């Protein structure tokens, strides 16, 4: 049940994460940030009674000098008695992540910047540009034709190492397999003057532009908060888009994927530019992460799977994302070794690929 030594020592590239909160959290805030619900419900009881809740008490409590399984109230008291920067440093350092690819597009005002995050974690940070946020920021002050030029220019000159689309949240993943013509995009932009971008033509066009700029393109896939319609987040809905973009040679990365991780593995197998991960689910499943991690690795070539935490707001989620990833990867490899499915040196290579080498290759880090 322990972690194989060569897995415990792996340095990790977290290819998809967010910032951590600048301030302490009340218990209701903390509970709701543990998972994807907006708030705790009196109908359903405390979120500490969940896989992730128990994982916090089991694994995070000792890092704050509390016994394993310390009660939730005690944990939060202890946590709030420390400076939040100290808490964040503790969990970030313990994660063993040396490189953070940060999507800073969601609630940036509440969170540490990528730089600050990396500083606390003793690593380096790179930015992922969130396409819809970029578009929503640029739109109000520009004409449609200026908007197209500005988006292209910003992507071409971006210091980001990748782009991210939240099409799943806005229109679902059924993106067209046909590249939108500029005239159609301008028309769609005209009809959208400001506010939340929900136009399929514009959202699809952003994805193409990111690839044109040579930016590896991440898609939110699968579960998230109550904003999504889960059946529209099945990655196989992306097939026409993936078929159309395979020839560009720019990576497309399917994030999270649960409970469609098998579908994601299929796409990563058959399309040369497609990769996937199991972020969010890895810590969200707590002690059950290993089984689903093994499922996610059923048919995906090992050169096509990456580590990410998808941690957001709570530094505990970085630590748990990394720790439960290591345990799951270790369980997977130990099971393979026990079955004599591969040799020891193969297991080492698989581990390095998934922990950091695939990400370094994909993002040219």
Segment 66-85, which members bind its own copies (CB under 8 A)?
68-69
Min dist. Cβ of residue 78 to its own copies (A): 17
Please identify which residue in 136, 262, 348, 360 interacts with its own copies, judged by CB under 8 A.
Answer: 262
Subset of 199-238 contacting its own copies (CB under 8 A): 223, 225-226, 228-231, 234, 236-237
Smaller CB separation from its own copies, 102 or 267: 267
For its own copies, the closer of residues 181 and 230 by Cβ is: 230
The nearer residue to its own copies, 11 or 301, going by C-beta atoms, is 301
Does residue 196 bind its own copies (CB under 8 A)? no
What 3-state DSSP class applies to 103?
A: strand
The yes or no reply on residue 339 touching its own copies (CB under 8 A) is: yes
Is residue 178 packed enough to be buried (19+ CB in 10 Å), middle (13-18) or exposed (0-12)? Answer: exposed
Q: Which is nearer to its own copies, 73 or 182 (CB)?
A: 73
283 touching its own copies, by CB under 8 A = no
Q: ∠ CA(301), CA(305), CA(309), 5° rounding?
A: 165
List CB contacts of 149: < 8 A, sequence separation 6 or more.
Answer: none
d(CA 186, CA 183): 5
Are residues 57 and 69 in contact, defined by beta-carbon separation less than 8 angstroms? Answer: yes
Least distance to its own copies from the beta carbon of 303, Å? 3
Nearest-angstrom CA–CA distance, 133 and 131: 5
Cα distance between the two ends of the chain:
33
Q: How far is the CB of 153 from its own copies (least distance, A)?
A: 27
Site string for its own copies, 295-334 (x = CB under 8 A): x-xxxxxxxx------------------------------
If one asks whether residue 279 binds its own copies (CB under 8 A), the answer comes out as no
Residue with tokens 């939110």: 220
Residues 6+ away with beta carbon under 8 Å from 223: 36, 230, 233, 256, 258, 259, 280, 281
275 binds its own copies (CB under 8 A): yes
3-state secondary structure of 237: helix
Coil, helix or strand at residue 126: strand
User: For the window 155-194, what string marks contact with its own copies as x by the rule CB under 8 A?
Assistant: ----------------------------------------
Residues 16-45 touching its own copies, rule: CB under 8 A, are 35-39, 41, 43-45
Distance, in Å, from the CA atom of 267 to the CA atom of 223, rounded to the nearest integer, reads 18
């Amino acid at each position: 049940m322990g972690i194989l030594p060569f897995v415990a020592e792996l340095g990790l590239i977290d290819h998809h994460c967010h910032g951590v909160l600048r301030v302490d959290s009340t218990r209701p805030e903390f509970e709701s940030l543990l998972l994807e619900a907006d708030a705790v419900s009196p109908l359903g009881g405390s979120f500490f009674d969940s896989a992730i809740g128990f994982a916090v008490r089991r694994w995070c409590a000792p890092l704050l000098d509390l016994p394993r399984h310390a009660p939730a109230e005690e944990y939060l008291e202890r946590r709030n008695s420390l400076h939040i920067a100290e808490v964040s440093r503790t969990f970030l350092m313990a994660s063993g992540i040396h490189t953070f690819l940060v999507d800073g597009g969601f609630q940036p005002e509440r969170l540490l910047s990528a730089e600050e995050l990396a500083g606390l974690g003793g690593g380096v940070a790179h930015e992922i540009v969130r396409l819809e946020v970029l578009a929503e920021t640029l739109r109000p002050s520009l004409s449609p034709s200026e908007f197209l030029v500005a988006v292209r220019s910003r992507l071409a000159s971006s210091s980001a190492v990748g782009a991210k689309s939240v099409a799943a949240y806005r229109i679902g993943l059924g993106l067209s397999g046909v590249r939108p013509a500029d005239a159609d995009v301008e028309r769609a932009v005209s009809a959208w003057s400001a506010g939340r971008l929900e136009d399929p033509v514009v959202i699809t066009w952003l994805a193409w532009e990111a690839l044109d700029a040579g930016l590896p393109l991440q898609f939110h896939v699968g579960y998230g908060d109550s904003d999504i319609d889960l059946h529209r987040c099945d990655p196989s809905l992306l097939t026409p888009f993936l078929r159309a973009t395979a020839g560009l040679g720019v990576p497309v990365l399917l994030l999270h994927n649960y409970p469609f991780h098998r579908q994601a593995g299929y796409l990563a197998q058959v399309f040369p530019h497609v990769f996937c991960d199991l972020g969010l689910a890895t810590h969200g499943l707590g002690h059950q992460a290993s089984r689903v991690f093994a499922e996610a690795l059923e048919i995906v070539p090992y050169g096509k799977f990456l580590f990410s935490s998808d941690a957001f707001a709570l530094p505990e989620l970085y630590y748990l994302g990394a720790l439960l990833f290591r345990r799951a990867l270790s369980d997977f490899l130990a099971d393979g070794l026990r079955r004599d499915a591969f040799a020891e040196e193969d297991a080492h290579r698989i581990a390095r690929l998934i922990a950091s080498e695939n990400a370094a290759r994909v993002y040219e880090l």
